[in-house]
């Protein structure tokens, strides 16, 4: 059974921030929802409440960056780019301010529906010059995201998991370095964030079926090392499947497609993710099943690439981990 | 018109001797923007009419800033900020070095760039030849002020974002113990943007009293007279309700401007609403009302008549431009 870590961001942020006085903690009315309520209470002089006003928060953070500070902005990911997009570009990205955008509840990890679900954030952020994009897929990555983000010379957007988070890895995020979870030769599987845990549900069943999987987990999405990916692409026989908690346009699937096209290599690609659609409010397992982001969807894609039917059923996969809707690890049911 | 109590805070004097009066500099700004507009066959002329005193006063009297650091004739565009552009710098050096005791000026309405460049020339921070690079390909003297343009420190061309950035900068400088203030030159059209009000409430909530703004209330915007575009109502009452200390002055009266800047505003930002005329000292422009945002000439006769009439008002010879 996988170890679950309670609120890994809270402790990690506090431990880092108290030893780095140039780090400031900014919040836009989602303080407990972003696990920084304890920090606010214990370190009020390093905390700025900027209210439910993200446009001002973004430009204000640009000003703090100009003054030499490294503000960490805490809110739901969706509120860091949809409403304050102009401010994000003009006040933060263009001048390369060391602003750290901590985007909670990425993709379908929230039952809050369209207004809360950041499903095109990676696409938007990837197309902004000077931006770095990180994504956390387990408790260890969440624990190390603060230091990793703060090591970047420029603005950073990070997809951060909160609440009860599984521990999958035992080494911290290294900016620019992917994780090689298996080095098979049949099919390359590329995942990031919560889809890595999902892919791991199918690991045993696929192994038993005799398919050799090469599995890469991305925690740095931009900048992206195309040559590194090409080495892995050339190492598999059948092709590649990307599985992302995001629309299939502009995210990891697009990254891989661009890499293949730019290099002029012939390699089949199946992109799994939200297919040019919004999601709606619901539980994470329900949404991942409905929109084809889960382990059965991955197995089906691998069957299609290899042209084999493995006969893998739900019973052959590791159990879905279900978060309680209400738990002490979350400030609200969102 | 100034209602708030005054302080005994000593007036800050700029490091350079004021060889010319602020009135002379304001006239020089108008003459220079006028000449450029005629030569260029169009330009942001009404902004010089409304803002000349404010910018002349900021640079010649109010701002405590050091000597400019870049060459008087600006270098060509040096590329955008990137991880590989190590030599990148903004245009802020024309306002002196960013030292802890010096003030900073955030120039919020980037469309006033021509007036800003004219001001820098009139106060000796920029060579007159710089205007020859205005809006030329490969130049940093851009039509809409960019952060690499002389006197600019950040992009504000989308309007309404400057005050927020200034508030963040002022908060950060105060936390570092820096004594310099942050001044913002704003335009009144920016009050239509919700972010302006977000910025004022945040500055008041965090007690950022090193933040000061002077707003060119010329009641004009791109589409024409502001009240024909959006009724912004009583902006003094609104600024006060959101937490600023507000002074309302005649924006062409330097005495009122000086008095307004001396108003004590502990724990709150100061907003000076400078009510101005978009054809001040160029009454010939009044016939164009309400299309004053960008003055262009409908034909050669219009250009020649405007040249003659405004030159006379400004006490200069008509511009001898190439036909």
pLDDT in tens, B47-57: 999 999 999 99
| pLDDT score recorded for residue A323 | 74
A129 with B80: Cβ contact below 8 A: yes
Confidence of residue B18 (pLDDT cuts 50, 70, 90): confident
| pLDDT score recorded for residue A17 | 98
Q: Distance between CA atoms of B121 and B151, rounded to whole angstroms?
A: 11
Residue predicted with more confidence, B323 or B238: B238
| pLDDT score recorded for residue A235 | 97
| pLDDT score recorded for residue B205 | 98
Give the CATH number for residue A75: 3.40.50.970
**H or E element at residue B257:** helix B254-261
- Report if residue A285 sits inside a domain: yes
What 3-state class would DSSP assign to B295?
A: strand
Whether A63 and A196 share a structural domain: no
- Report if residue A241 sits inside a domain: yes
Among B168, B171, B198, the residue with its CB nearest the CB of A53 is: B198
Q: Can you give the residue range of the structural domain that contains A21? A: 8-166
Q: Is the pLDDT of residue B10 over 50?
A: no
**Contact present, A188 and A232 (Cβ < 8 Å):** yes
Q: Is the pLDDT of residue B2 over 60?
A: no
Whether A155 and A279 share a structural domain: no
Residue-by-residue DSSP string for B125-143: SS-GGGGGGTT-TT-SS-S
Count CA atoms closer than 13 A to A267's CA, side-chain side.
29
- Report if residue A330 sits inside a domain: no
Q: Is the pLDDT of residue A324 over 80?
A: no
- Report if residue A27 sits inside a domain: yes
Chain B interface includes A53 (CB < 8 A): yes
Whether A25 and A148 share a structural domain: yes
Q: Find the closest chain A residue to B182 by CA distance.
A: A63
Tokens 């008549």 appear where? B305
Tokens of A262: 């730019």
Q: Is the pLDDT of residue A294 over 80?
A: yes
Contacts of B171 in chain A (CB under 8 A): 48, 60, 63-64, 67
Q: DSSP label at B228?
A: G
- Supply the mean pLDDT for chain B: 94
**Contact present, B66 and B99 (Cβ < 8 Å):** yes
Q: To the nearest whole percent, how much of chain A has pLDDT over 90?
A: 94
Among B82, B83, B165, the residue with its CB nearest the CB of A59 is: B165
| pLDDT score recorded for residue B287 | 94
| pLDDT score recorded for residue B19 | 85
**Closest Cα in chain A, distance from residue B231 (Å):** 22
Mean pLDDT along residues B127-145? 96
Q: Find the closest chain B residue to A52 by CA distance.
A: B198
Q: How far is CA B43 from CA A186, B87, B144, in A?
A: 65, 32, 11
**Contact present, A74 and B216 (Cβ < 8 Å):** no
Chain A interface includes B80 (CB < 8 A): yes
Among A56, A60, A90, the residue with its CB nearest the CB of B158 is: A90
| pLDDT score recorded for residue B17 | 55
Mean pLDDT along residues B197-212? 98
B165 with A62: Cβ contact below 8 A: yes
Contacts of B183 in chain A (CB under 8 A): none
Contacts of B82 in chain A (CB under 8 A): 96, 129-130
Three state DSSP letters for chain A: CCCEEECHHHHHHHHHHCCCCCEEEEECCCCCCCCCHHHHHHCHHHEEECCCCHHHHHHHHHHHHHCCCEEEEEEEHHHHCCCCHHHHHHHHHCCCCCCEEEEECEHHHCCCCCCCCECCHHHHHHCCCCCEEEECCCHHHHHHHHHHHHCCCCCEEEEECCCEEECCCCCCCCCCCCEEEEECCCEEEEEECHHHHHHHHCHHHHHHCCCCEEEEEECEEECCCHHHHHHHHCCCCCEEEEEEEEECCCCHHHHHHHHHHHHCCCCCEEEEEECCCCCCCCCHHHHHHHCCCCHHHHHHHHHHHHCCCCCCCHHHCCCCCCCCCCCCCCCCCC
What 3-state class would DSSP assign to B89?
A: coil
Cα A260 to chain centroid distance, Å, stands at 22
Of B295, B297, B320, the C-alpha closest to B46 is B295
Confidence of residue A64 (pLDDT cuts 50, 70, 90): very high
Q: Find the closest chain A residue to B205 by CA distance.
A: A50
Tokens of A197: 């845990």
**Contact present, A48 and A26 (Cβ < 8 Å):** yes
| pLDDT score recorded for residue A330 | 72
Mean pLDDT along residues A303-307? 97
Best residue of A43, A47, A66, A84 to probe chain B, by most B CBs closer than 10 Å: A66
Whether A20 and A141 share a structural domain: yes
Assign residue B116 a region: left if phi > 0, alpha if psi is -120 to 50, beta otherwise?
Answer: alpha
| pLDDT score recorded for residue B323 | 66
Tokens 């450029």 appear where? B36
Per-residue model confidence as pLDDT tens digits over B56-104: 999 999 999 999 999 999 999 999 999 999 999 999 999 999 999 999 9
Mean pLDDT along residues B129-153? 96
Contacts of A57 in chain B (CB under 8 A): 202
Q: Find the closest chain B residue to A88 by CA distance.
A: B161
**Closest Cα in chain B, distance from residue A121 (Å):** 22
Count CA atoms closer than 13 A to B274's CA, side-chain side.
34
B195 with A94: Cβ contact below 8 A: no
| pLDDT score recorded for residue B1 | 42
Of B287, B319, B296, B320, the C-alpha closest to B32 is B319
How is the beta sheet containing A269-274 ordered, strand by strand? A179-183, A213-218, A187-192, A239-247, A269-274
Question: Which residues are CB-neighbours of A203 under 8 A, at least 6 positions away?
Answer: A182, A213, A215, A318
- Report if residue A201 sits inside a domain: yes
Where do the domains of chain B lie? 45-73+90-295
Confidence of residue A125 (pLDDT cuts 50, 70, 90): very high
Mean pLDDT along residues A138-159? 98
Q: Find the closest chain A residue to B92 by CA distance.
A: A66
Among B81, B158, B172, the residue with its CB nearest the CB of A95 is: B81
**Domains of chain A: total:** 2
A59 with B201: Cβ contact below 8 A: no
Give the CATH number for residue A289: 3.40.50.920
Of B181, B209, B171, the C-alpha closest to B65 is B181
Strand ranges inside B220-287, DSSP E: 220-221, 224-225, 245-250, 270-275
Question: Which residues are CB-neighbours of A318 under 8 A, at least 6 positions away?
Answer: A200, A201, A202, A203, A204, A295
Per-residue model confidence as pLDDT tens digits over A73-108: 999 999 999 999 999 999 999 999 999 999 999 999
**Contact present, B73 and B127 (Cβ < 8 Å):** yes
Q: Distance between CA atoms of A241 and A253, rounded to whole angstroms?
A: 8
Largest CA distance in chain A: 61
**Closest Cα in chain B, distance from residue A37 (Å):** 19
Q: Distance between CA atoms of A110 and A118, rounded to whole angstroms?
A: 9
| pLDDT score recorded for residue B11 | 45
Q: Distance between CA atoms of B70 and B91, rounded to whole angstroms?
A: 8
Q: DSSP label at B108?
A: -
Of B140, B117, B102, B123, the C-alpha closest to B44 is B117
Whether A17 and A143 share a structural domain: yes
Tokens of A332: 């609200």
Cα B297 to chain centroid distance, Å, stands at 25
Q: Is the pLDDT of residue A319 over 90?
A: no
| pLDDT score recorded for residue B12 | 46
Contacts of B180 in chain A (CB under 8 A): none
Per-residue model confidence as pLDDT tens digits over B255-288: 999 999 999 999 999 999 999 999 999 999 999 9
Tokens of B29: 């700004």
Of A196, A200, A192, A194, the C-alpha closest to A164 is A194
Chain B interface includes A83 (CB < 8 A): no
Whether A221 and A122 share a structural domain: no
**Closest Cα in chain B, distance from residue A321 (Å):** 41
Q: Distance between CA atoms of A232 and A187, rounded to whole angstroms?
A: 10
Q: Distance between CA atoms of A135 and A161, rounded to whole angstroms?
A: 9
Does domain B45-73+90-295 correspond to CATH entry 3.40.50.970?
A: yes
Residue-by-residue DSSP string for B11-66: PP--SS---S-HHHHHHHHHHHHHHHHHHHTEE--HHHHHHHHHHHHIIIII----
Mean pLDDT along residues B23-43? 97
Mean pLDDT along residues B34-42? 95
Q: What is the CA radius of gyration of chain A?
A: 19
B171 with A53: Cβ contact below 8 A: no
Q: Find the closest chain B residue to A129 by CA distance.
A: B82
Among B147, B168, B176, the residue with its CB nearest the CB of A59 is: B168
Contacts of B83 in chain A (CB under 8 A): 96, 130, 153-154
Q: Tally C-beta pairs within 8 A across A and B.
A: 109
The phi and psi torsions of B288 (rounded to 5 degrees) equal -85, -15
Chain A interface includes B177 (CB < 8 A): no
The phi and psi torsions of A239 (rounded to 5 degrees) equal 145, -160
Tokens of A192: 């990031």
Chain B interface includes A94 (CB < 8 A): yes
Confidence of residue A326 (pLDDT cuts 50, 70, 90): confident
**Closest Cα in chain A, distance from residue B4 (Å):** 27
B171 with A51: Cβ contact below 8 A: no
Whether A148 and A221 share a structural domain: no
- Report if residue A194 sits inside a domain: yes
Q: Is the pLDDT of residue B7 over 70?
A: no
Contacts of B155 in chain A (CB under 8 A): 90-91, 94-95
Burial degree of A38 (CB within 10 A; 0-12, 13-18, 19+): middle
Q: Find the closest chain B residue to A45 by CA distance.
A: B175
**Closest Cα in chain B, distance from residue A58 (Å):** 8
């Amino acid at each position: 059974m996988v170890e679950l870590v309670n609120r890994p961001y809270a402790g990690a942020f506090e431990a880092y921030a108290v030893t780095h006085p140039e780090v400031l903690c900014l919040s836009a009315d989602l303080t407990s929802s972003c696990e920084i309520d304890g920090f606010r209470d214990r370190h009020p002089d390093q905390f700025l409440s900027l209210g439910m006003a993200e446009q001002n928060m973004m430009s204000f953070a640009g000003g703090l960056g100009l003054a030499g500070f490294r503000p960490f902005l805490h809110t739901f990911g969706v509120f860091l780019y949809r409403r304050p997009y102009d401010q994000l570009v003009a006040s933060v990205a263009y001048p390369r301010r060391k602003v750290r955008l901590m985007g909670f509840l990425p993709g379908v990890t929230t039952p809050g529906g369209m207004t809360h679900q950041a499903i095109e954030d990676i696409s938007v952020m990837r197309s902004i010059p000077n931006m770095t994009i990180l994504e956390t897929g387990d408790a260890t990555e969440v624990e190390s995201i603060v230091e990793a983000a703060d090591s970047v010379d420029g603005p950073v957007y990070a997809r951060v998991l909160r609440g009860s988070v599984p521990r999958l890895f035992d080494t911290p995020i290294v900016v620019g370095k992917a994780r090689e979870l298996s080095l098979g030769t049949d099919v390359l599987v590329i995942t990031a964030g919560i889809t890595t845990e999902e892919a791991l549900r199918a690991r045993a069943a696929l192994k038993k079926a005799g398919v050799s999987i090469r599995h890469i987990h991305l925690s740095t999405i931009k900048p992206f090392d195309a040559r590194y990916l090409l080495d892995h692409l050339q190492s598999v026989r059948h092709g590649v499947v990307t599985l992302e908690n995001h629309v299939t346009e502009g995210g990891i699937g697009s990254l891989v497609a661009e890499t293949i096209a730019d290099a002029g290599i012939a390699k089949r690609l199946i992109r799994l993710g939200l297919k040019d659609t919004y999601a709606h409010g619901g539980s994470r397992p329900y949404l991942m099943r409905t929109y084809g982001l889960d382990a059965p969807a991955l197995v089906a894609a691998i069957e299609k690439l290899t042209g084999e039917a493995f006969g893998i059923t739900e019973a052959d996969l590791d159990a879905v981990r279900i978060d309680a809707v209400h738990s002490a690890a979350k400030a609200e049911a969102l | 018109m100034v209602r708030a109590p005054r302080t005994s805070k000593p007036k800050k004097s700029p490091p350079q001797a004021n060889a010319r009066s602020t009135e002379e500099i304001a006239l020089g700004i108008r003459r220079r923007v006028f000449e450029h507009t005629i030569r260029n066959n169009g330009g942001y002329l009404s902004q010089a009419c409304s803002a000349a005193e404010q910018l002349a006063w900021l640079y010649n009297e109010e701002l405590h800033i050091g000597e400019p650091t870049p060459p008087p004739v600006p270098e060509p565009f040096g590329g955008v900020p990137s991880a590989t552009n190590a030599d990148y710098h903004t245009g802020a050096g024309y306002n002196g070095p960013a030292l802890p005791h010096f003030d900073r000026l955030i120039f919020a309405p980037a469309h006033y760039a021509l007036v800003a460049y004219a001001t820098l020339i009139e106060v000796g921070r920029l060579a007159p030849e710089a205007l020859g690079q205005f809006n030329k390909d490969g130049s940093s003297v851009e039509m809409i002020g960019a952060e690499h343009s002389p006197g600019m420190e950040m992009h504000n061309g989308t309007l309404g974002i400057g005050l927020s950035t200034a508030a963040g900068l002022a908060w950060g400088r105060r936390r570092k113990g820096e004594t310099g203030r942050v001044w913002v030159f704003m335009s009144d059209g920016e009050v239509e943007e919700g972010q302006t009000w977000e910025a004022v409430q945040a500055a008041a909530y965090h007690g950022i009293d090193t933040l000061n703004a002077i707003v060119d209330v010329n009641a004009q915007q791109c589409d024409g007279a502001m009240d024909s575009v959006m009724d912004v109502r009583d902006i003094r009452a609104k600024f006060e309700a959101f937490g600023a200390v507000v002074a309302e002055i005649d924006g062409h009266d330097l005495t009122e401007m000086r008095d307004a800047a001396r108003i004590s505003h502990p724990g709150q930002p100061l907003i000076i609403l400078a009510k101005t005329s978009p054809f001040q000292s160029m009454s010939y422009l009044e016939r164009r009302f309400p299309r004053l945002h960008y003055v262009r000439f409908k034909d050669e006769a219009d250009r020649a008549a405007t040249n003659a009439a405004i030159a006379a008002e400004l006490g200069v010879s008509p511009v001898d431009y190439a036909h």
